[in-house]
Structure 1
């Protein structure tokens, strides 16, 4: 009975999501038609056809979504959105190719199609997020999941599944429909036995491999059929010249787009900092860059000019702060920081002048944070060979992964993971999360 109930719930869930996306695409089509006719009539030829002539594009996109397994596997929001974007991009390329290479080019409006896809890129992920929020309020649509393992990753994963409502999972020890096996700290024979046991209880068994620090979604699987073996081709993705070129190219475009806004923000910051305390607006400090070379890293000044004297007096009264600094490389309550400096640091706006470092070629927009000269030895020789082989970034995984609660070693591990598993999509997610972090902190203030 339980098995049938889950099968019915999952089927309804898939159908509702599929029909919802189809409806949102239909809505995007109608809205695109309205925008094209009413706002762009003076710029493009008159649209002599109706929206229904484009309905085949909706069904094409829906089929592509099915092949992307958007409805059959429960991803987190960003992985889901990545597949939506990919599906829309494939559909867009296919539609434009068909229209351009056939006689249909005279019958279809390219401007209309572009507007449709731009609307769909925004509306489909947004509507799906809202719909899942509603559906997962009902336990009927949630999946019972059991996490099995013998390491700290069990607690970490369980907390993620509990906090991230977008998955629609319930943590469960007995009546589960899905099992996630974590291999870390398990003996090979023990791991095989667990796979055998849980494979009999459910067909939904997911495995986190021993090399969990690698992102296998970018790996190539090579099959050696004669000996019944497969190999996984991995690479440090951000050490590839091709990936470096792609990253630099898109970041330069993004920086140029942000530049006009950045100049206005910079003028505003000059006024605030000057009004708050005496001293220079900009502060520069030597940091470790590409290949360990030193460069001047720019930031807005967030401390008083006589900060060293203030800190010395403060530490003499609060010796516990010395121990805290040894672990986290910062103070809990730094007395040197100005009033506006506290806001700038909380929102990371103090790092905005590093756009100049990006334009100058010292840094990237996204990447490992620039380490201080004194931290080089603490990074470790092996980690240096990875982290210092790429340019540091203004923002990165550290900033959007709870940086205030991370130790120095955890920060190093995040930087290594970013370099080993880099993708353009990862940079996009980091950029969007950074915007969210900045504005949420501003709102809190």
Structure 2
């Protein structure tokens, strides 16, 4: 049996995904019609819902914007796809409303209906895309074979990601492959040039991970010096930029205001559980390092017994291996001080909830590097300290949603540094969504 070319599979995948998106957008129109006709009719002028097909041109504009975002031609992870979908919907929205404003068409179309359509599509499009890719990528026919060219630790990390992240639709194959992924850090300059030259003869698609893999270059600006045929990458610590600090401040204040009623109800419920479970205060205060190394009182729900020091001392006598574990991870594998409710609060990160008061004080942010303990300052290291302790710590952050239970202290520091240097509003949004998953399902997501 002859092998079906990967290009053929890619074209079929493109047609399927485009058709599914078109169908999803039609469904979004139907849902928007239902909402507009059943829930908004009493508050808004009459709406003629017999002519739904006259809105189909909206779908063509959205699909065109999705094609411009190359969402059908480049295999991204789910979060990158989601960002591109939102971007396409945003520019489609602007285009459509500009057209309606500049022409006489505005009287023929319900603007409220169009707004509802885009709100519905912003939910249904990512959901349907994730669902259809989950189905299609179960079959090798739609998978692209990728050759990972790396050494040692990077090889392990990349292979694990390709294997576990099914959304890419990749299958590792070092012999018969469709594209090559080369990690620069694994090779010196001469080796890298030779590898790129060699693989360019075998495949048209080569992806190169830059040597500076601690920086997110996907949004970097490039300065070109054409006279000397060189280009430069502009690098900045993004959370030290006053514009970004202001944007982050506004974004987080809106989120805090929206969830405050829920937070108040949750606080009452958790306080009751803590009181019923063990003796002691509900709130626990601990000195932590804040912005510019200033010490502040960090609030948490009490998750330990009152006589915790005595319990720990006895436990470490019988389990000396826990001392080495703490030295590496800055926590104990089986901490005897933690209560039953406290164990649940820690697993779900709900013990951090009282830190909303720290946000109101201006001492913390909603999202950021975790506040370090006073005795951890020296272990952070001077070079890392000058970056990490220049911003406000956060209730949640990249560490919490990156499998924190399996990370060493040094890996946590690297994550915090990466977050600050590569901050974006989208990254904060993703961390927030992943945090909700951690709370609901008690897992350390990636």
TM-score normalised to structure 2 length? 0.97
Q: Which consecutive residues of structure 1, in runs of 5 or more, have no partner in the other structure? A: none
Decide whether the 8 Å contact of 1:180 with 1:207 is kept in 2: yes
Residue by residue over 1:262-319, the C-alpha shift from the partner in whole angstroms, topping out at 9 and shown as x without a partner, is 0000000111000001110000101000000001100000001111111111111111
Q: Displacement of 1:69 after TM fit?
A: 0.4
Q: Distance in 1 between matches of 2:37 and 2:164?
A: 44
Q: Displacement of 1:47 after TM fit?
A: 1.3
Residue by residue over 1:126-147, the C-alpha shift from the partner in whole angstroms, topping out at 9 and shown as x without a partner, is 0011100111111100011010
Correspondence 1:7 to 2:4: no
Residues 38-57 of structure 1: pairs in structure 2 closer than 5 A: 38-48=38-48, 50-57=51-58
Q: Displacement of 1:101 after TM fit?
A: 3.0
Question: Any idea what SS the aligned residue of 1:218 has?
Answer: coil
Partner of 1:303: 304
Question: Any idea what SS the aligned residue of 2:371 has?
Answer: coil
Decide whether the 8 Å contact of 2:398 with 2:415 is kept in 1: yes
Q: Displacement of 1:186 after TM fit?
A: 1.0
Residues 253-332 of structure 1: pairs in structure 2 closer than 5 A: 253-332=254-333
Q: Displacement of 1:226 after TM fit?
A: 2.1
Decide whether the 8 Å contact of 2:89 with 2:122 is kept in 1: yes
Question: Any idea what SS the aligned residue of 1:201 has?
Answer: coil
Question: Any idea what SS the aligned residue of 1:200 has?
Answer: coil
Decide whether the 8 Å contact of 1:133 with 1:166 is kept in 2: yes
> RMSD of aligned C-alpha atoms?
1.2
Partner of 1:233: 234
Partner of 1:74: 75
Decide whether the 8 Å contact of 2:154 with 2:186 is kept in 1: no
Decide whether the 8 Å contact of 1:368 with 1:395 is kept in 2: yes
Partner of 1:364: 365
Q: Distance in 1 between matches of 2:363 and 2:98?
A: 40
Partner of 1:91: 92
Q: Displacement of 1:157 after TM fit?
A: 0.8
Partner of 2:62: 61
Q: How many residue pairs get matched?
A: 442
Q: Distance in 2 between matches of 1:308 and 1:76?
A: 45
User: Which of 327-336 and 103-112 deviates more?
Assistant: 103-112
Residues 211-250 of structure 1: pairs in structure 2 closer than 5 A: 211-250=212-251
Q: Distance in 2 between matches of 1:151 and 1:192?
A: 20
Decide whether the 8 Å contact of 1:367 with 1:391 is kept in 2: yes
Q: Distance in 1 between matches of 2:111 and 2:297?
A: 48
Q: 1:185 to 1:141 in 2, by over 3 A?
A: closer
Partner of 2:156: 155
Decide whether the 8 Å contact of 2:146 with 2:178 is kept in 1: yes
Q: Distance in 2 between matches of 1:317 and 1:34?
A: 65
Partner of 2:191: 190
Partner of 1:435: 436
Partner of 1:207: 208
Decide whether the 8 Å contact of 1:92 with 1:117 is kept in 2: yes
Question: Any idea what SS the aligned residue of 1:216 has?
Answer: coil
Decide whether the 8 Å contact of 2:283 with 2:301 is kept in 1: yes
Decide whether the 8 Å contact of 1:237 with 1:421 is kept in 2: yes
Q: Distance in 2 between matches of 1:100 and 1:3?
A: 53
Q: Distance in 2 between matches of 1:438 and 1:272?
A: 17
Q: Displacement of 1:221 after TM fit?
A: 1.4
Q: Distance in 1 between matches of 2:168 and 2:186?
A: 26
Q: Displacement of 1:13 after TM fit?
A: 0.4
Q: Which consecutive residues of structure 2, in runs of 5 or more, have no partner in the other structure? A: none
Q: Displacement of 1:27 after TM fit?
A: 1.1
Partner of 1:400: 401
Decide whether the 8 Å contact of 1:236 with 1:421 is kept in 2: yes
Decide whether the 8 Å contact of 1:347 with 1:437 is kept in 2: yes
Partner of 1:388: 389
Partner of 2:23: 23
Q: 1:2 to 1:64 in 2, by over 3 A?
A: farther
Residue by residue over 1:404-432, the C-alpha shift from the partner in whole angstroms, topping out at 9 and shown as x without a partner, is 00000000000000000000000010000
User: Which of 73-82 and 144-153 deviates more?
Assistant: 144-153
Q: Distance in 1 between matches of 2:13 and 2:115?
A: 30
Q: Distance in 1 between matches of 2:303 and 2:34?
A: 50
TM-score normalised to structure 1 length? 0.97
Residue by residue over 1:153-177, the C-alpha shift from the partner in whole angstroms, topping out at 9 and shown as x without a partner, is 1110110010011011111110001
Q: Distance in 2 between matches of 1:3 and 1:183?
A: 32
Partner of 1:345: 346
Residue by residue over 1:166-222, the C-alpha shift from the partner in whole angstroms, topping out at 9 and shown as x without a partner, is 011111110001100001131100110000000100011000011011101110112
Residue by residue over 1:100-135, the C-alpha shift from the partner in whole angstroms, topping out at 9 and shown as x without a partner, is 233222221111011100110010010011100111
Q: Distance in 2 between matches of 1:201 and 1:188?
A: 20
Residue by residue over 1:24-59, the C-alpha shift from the partner in whole angstroms, topping out at 9 and shown as x without a partner, is 001111221122122211111111362212111110
Q: Displacement of 1:4 after TM fit?
A: 5.5
Q: Distance in 2 between matches of 1:132 and 1:257?
A: 33
